[in-house]
Amino acid sequence: MVVEFTYLILGAVVISPISKFQWPAAVSFWVRTPLTPERVEAGLMFKSDEIPSVHVSFEVTRQQFTETCWLFREKLLKDFHFRIGPGTDDHWPLESWGASFLL
């Protein structure tokens, strides 16, 4: 079986909607493969031990990946938001995510 890994990694700033605190972040989008186990969460966020930053990783479908890449390329993405579920001190599941864009 041949499996293609498709992903996008970019730098961002994650802003808390409550405290408005800002963290530098690495954000990644990973297309699910036939070998990807089924998960309830939409991705995960974890804190780096070495530097004050977070990593946000989204598992997306091929169609979601294509549309997100197009929004980035055309500079139409206005904001990207996600909901964090209960986790540990350094690891949190992402329950849902969404984006808004300019027309």
- For 37-48, the pLDDT digits (tens) are 777 778 888 877
Model pTM score: 0.77
Write the pLDDT tens digit of every residue in 35-79: 777 777 788 888 777 777 788 888 888 899 999 889 889 989 888
Distances (CA, A) of 18 to 15, 22, 23, 45, 59: 9, 11, 13, 17, 25
Percent with pLDDT over 90 in the chain: 6
